[in-house]
Amino acid sequence: MPTVSVKRDLLFEALGQKYTDEEFDELCFEFGLELDEITSEKEILIREQGGEKAEGASDVVLYKIDVPANRYDLLCLEGLVRGLQVFKEKLEAPRYKRVSPADGGEPQRLVITEETASVRPHAVAAVLRNITFTQERYESFIELQEKLHQNICRKRTLVAIGTHDLDTISGPFTYTAKPPGEIRFKPLSQSREYTAAELMSLYKTDSHLRHYLHIIENEPLYPIIYDSNGIVLSMPPIINGDHSKISLNTKNIFIECTATDLTKAKITLDMVVTMFSVYCDEPFTVEEAEVVYPDGRLSVYPELAYRTETLSGDFINKRVGINESAESIAQLLTRMCLRSEVSGEGDLIQVEIPPTRADVIHACDIMEDAAIAYGFNNIVRSTPRTYTVANQLPVNKLTELLRQDLTAAGFTEALTFALCSEEDIADKLRKNITETRAVHISNPKTADFQVARTSLLPGLLKTIAANRKMPLPLKLFEISDVVLKDETKDVGARNNRRLCAVYYNKSPGFEVIHGLLDRVMQLLDVKPGRNQGYHIQAAEDSTFFPGRCAEIFSCGKSIGHLGVLHPDVISRFELTMPCSAIDIDIEPFL
């Protein structure tokens, strides 16, 4: 969930009202936001870097507000204030308008060449005219781009935004892709020109930019945007040129978004322009720009598309569980920036979805907004009349019964991880990893999670190792799932419910574990015997001490092993005493 940091006093000024922290927290809760933290730059510095570094830092109170991941329109102060003001009915949602250049001139044009196809094929653009920045507005503008980059743009992989002082460059602009050696320009905040190849090594150590290098690093061609004089606007998705950088004094802004996902590029551009057109001389207007594709097609951006959905008041009432008139529902929706009107035919409501609400893709999204505006906590809670009979999953029912009886037999239940290292299920048990049928994880962060366990034994032995100080004997069990490769399954693997128990003492206690097997079989109503019953017979298994291992058969089918563990197994789990164990599959008893 993205977190937006705003200055409290600035926020209240923009909202035209002061709140106590509790009141604001309550407002957030109702609207689906979360006031996550109240802090200041100084506090943050003290916490992150210690008191010395924080000296002289600002004490201005900051609200850190968690915003739902799909609400890109709330990622900056401007958007938050607009959303809350409309919600509180203090403001009518603005109408965003795309306009042609004022003087009747040609729109700015961005020409895409076919070379971009292999690396980053899409681009959209727009112009903000006669904008007035202040320090705060400027910072918010930069911050919004960063938030969008981190969220909808998926760390610039899907979309990268470039903003430029239009008065320093001249169109038409060309979006192309070139070999890194042929790209040369002075990037933002550097004092000289670099080739693209040099830049990539320069930014290897840049704490911020190094995260984006991988996106194009191994591409033969890098994306690049030039103006008509060959000046570099940007090398997306890495860095802008220094020449066209914006400042507090910038009046006219050229915005380009290059992308691998055109839908997300359009949304991103719409967000930037809808949020900041409020500071244009003609608020909420955005000057169009043309994008020409390699095949000659021409598109005009930003889309700023309004869409109308028609739904009935009855639909909302039935889905939410309220009973409101169509008019009142239309009013609720309007408070969520979804301008709505009752159309006159029955209880049909016309809902207009603005370009800021890209998250509304279905009538159910509109229904949710009605419920939020109504207040989730004002909805009457009622019990559905759905009549059903409960059933337990047989394997879980059996597990529950056996667990109870194993504790009654004096064994204590352990709960161990289903993931472990290869070593745990192979080397430490004196097995070869290839014979374990283990499922392997491709991207574990630590060696503790290389495979899904194929046996419950390593977990129990680790539990004993962690409890060596407890008085002997230690008697532990677990009934849980292991995972085995199985080609007959759609995913190629299946779980297997197993029962494992260990006895750890100064003497091996084979008879204790054997006694436990007898008790379990008694509970499962399987009598001792060769054919219809159960029996054990000597077996060799590398995990067990030679001559001290038996295979367990029930109704003629092998279900597992019991025996005294091999001394090497004991020492590999950092244990010192003899130990006996039983490991059986309980699924045959279902």
- Which is closer to another protein, CB of 197 or CB of 372? 372
Judged by beta carbon, residue 407 or residue 532, the one nearer another protein is 407
> CA-CA distance, 561 to 537, in Å (whole number)?
9
Rounded to a whole number of angstroms, the minimum distance from the CB of residue 39 to another protein is 19
**CB 533 to another protein: min, Å:** 26
Find the shortest distance in angstroms from Cβ 523 to another protein: 15
Residue 383 to residues 119, 321, 364, 378, 380, Cα–Cα distance (Å)? 54, 11, 21, 16, 10
Cis peptide before 302 (omega within 30 of 0): yes
Instruction: Supply the minimum distance, in Å, between the C-beta of residue 517 and another protein.
Output: 16
Q: Which of 220, 410, 515, 588 binds another protein (CB under 8 A)?
A: 410
Alpha-carbon distance of 342 to 385, in angstroms, equals 32
Alpha-carbon distance of 259 to 112, in angstroms, equals 12
CB of 234 to another protein, least distance (A): 23
Report the C-alpha gap between 384 and 113 in whole angstroms: 59
Kindly report the backbone phi and psi dihedral angles of residue 589, in degrees, each rounded to the nearest multiple of 5, phi listed first: -95, 5
| Number of residues in contact with another protein under rule CB under 8 A | 87
Out of 365, 422, 551, 585, which residue is the one contacting another protein (CB under 8 A)? 365
DSSP classification of residue 450: S
Question: According to CB under 8 A, which one of 141, 279, 477, 589 is a site residue for another protein?
Answer: 477
Query: Going by C-beta distance under 8 Å and a sequence separation of 6 or more, which residues neighbour residue 82?
Result: 73, 91, 93, 94, 278, 337
Is the alpha carbon torsion for 209, 210, 211, 214 positive or negative?
positive
Nearer to another protein, 283 or 492 (CB): 492
Q: Restricting to residues 126-155, name those near another protein by CB under 8 A.
A: 154
In this complex, which beta carbon is closest to another protein, that of residue 216 or of residue 280? 216
Number of C-beta neighbours around residue 288 at 10 A: 18
Decide: 481 and 439 in contact? Cβ < 8 Å. Answer: no
Query: Which one of 40-48, 250-258, 366-374, 505-513 is the stretch in contact with another protein (CB under 8 A)?
Result: 366-374
Among 196, 367, 582, 586, binds another protein (CB under 8 A): 367
SS3 (DSSP) at 222: strand
CB of 395 to another protein, least distance (A): 6
In whole angstroms, what is the distance from residue 276 CA to residue 280 CA? 8
- Site residues for another protein, window 257-296 (CB under 8 A)? 261, 263-264
- List the interface residues with another protein, window 14-33 (CB under 8 A): 29, 31-32
Residue list 36-65, contact with another protein (CB under 8 A): none
Least distance from C-beta 375 to another protein, angstroms? 10
Query: Between residues 252 and 258, which has the closer beta carbon with respect to another protein?
Result: 258
Scanning residues 497 to 556, which ones bind another protein (CB under 8 A)?
497
Provide the minimum distance between the beta carbon of 299 and another protein in the complex, in angstroms, as a whole number: 15
Q: Candidates 69-77, 112-120, 217-225, 575-583 — which segment interacts with another protein by CB under 8 A?
A: 69-77
In 3-state terms, what secondary structure has residue 341? strand
Query: In the bound complex, what is the minimum distance in angstroms from residue 379's beta carbon to another protein?
Result: 5
Find the shortest distance in angstroms from Cβ 359 to another protein: 8
Structure tokens, 327? 């008019």
Residue 158 binding another protein, by CB under 8 A: yes
Q: How far is the CB of 471 from another protein (least distance, A)?
A: 10
HSE (side-chain half, CA atoms, 13 Å) at 466? 10
User: Residue 222 or 315: which CB sits closer to another protein?
Assistant: 315
Does 434 bind another protein (CB under 8 A)? Our answer is no
Find where tokens 């090594």 sit: 201
Residues 369-398 that bind another protein (CB under 8 A): 371-372, 376-377, 379-384, 386-393, 395-396
- What is each CA distance from 344 to 94, 266, 309, 324, in whole angstroms? 24, 34, 15, 16
Phi-psi region of 274 (alpha: psi -120 to 50; beta: other; left: phi over 0): alpha
Q: Encode 347-386 in three state secondary structure.
A: CEEEEEECCCCCCCCCHHHHHHHHHHHHCHHHCCCCCCCC
| Binding residues among 188-217 for another protein as defined by CB under 8 A | none
Minimal distance, residue 157 CB to another protein, in Å:
8
| CB nearer to another protein: pick between 481 and 568 | 481
Query: What's the CA gap between 474 and 455, in Å, rounded?
Result: 19
Site for another protein in 306-345 (CB under 8 A): 318-322
Interacting residue with another protein among 192, 208, 297, 362 (CB under 8 A):
362
Task: State the nearest-atom distance from the C-beta of 23 to another protein, in Å.
Answer: 15
Pick between residue 444 and residue 515 the one whose CB is nearest to another protein.
444
Q: Which residue, 193 or 422, has its beta carbon nearer to another protein?
A: 422
Which residues, 484 to 503, sit near another protein by CB under 8 A? 485, 489-495, 497
Which is nearer to another protein, 74 or 199 (by Cβ)? 74
Task: Compute the distance between CA of residue 197 and CA of residue 184 in angstroms, rounded to an integer.
Answer: 9
Specify the residue, 158 or 500, whose C-beta has the smaller distance to another protein: 158
Q: Which of residues 70-89 bind another protein (CB under 8 A)?
A: 70-71
Which pair of structure tokens corresponds to residue 240?
A: 């802008």
Beta bridge partners of 159: 259
Restricting to residues 234-263, name those near another protein by CB under 8 A: 261, 263
Look at the alpha carbons of 297, 300, 301, 304 in this order and tell me if their dihedral is positive or negative. Answer: negative
Minimum CB separation of residue 105 from another protein in Å reads: 33
Work out whether strand 108-112 and strand 173-178 pair parallel, antiparallel, or are unpaired: parallel
Q: Which is nearer to another protein, 122 or 129 (CB)?
A: 122
Nearer to another protein among residue 143 and residue 314 (C-beta): 314
Name the amino acid, one letter, at 227.
D
Contact 273, 87 (CB under 8 A): no
- C-beta of residue 27 within 8 angstroms of C-beta of residue 84: yes
**CA 17 to chain CA mean position, Å:** 34
Report the alpha-carbon distance of residue 504 to residue 522 in Å, rounded: 24
CB of 251: closest distance to another protein in angstroms?
35
3 state DSSP class of 132? coil
Nearer to another protein, 499 or 550 (CB): 499
Give whole-number Cα distances, 80 to 28, 42, 225, 286, 365, in Å. Answer: 10, 24, 32, 20, 19
Q: Using CB under 8 A, which residues numbered 438 to 467 contact another protein?
A: 439-446, 448-449, 452
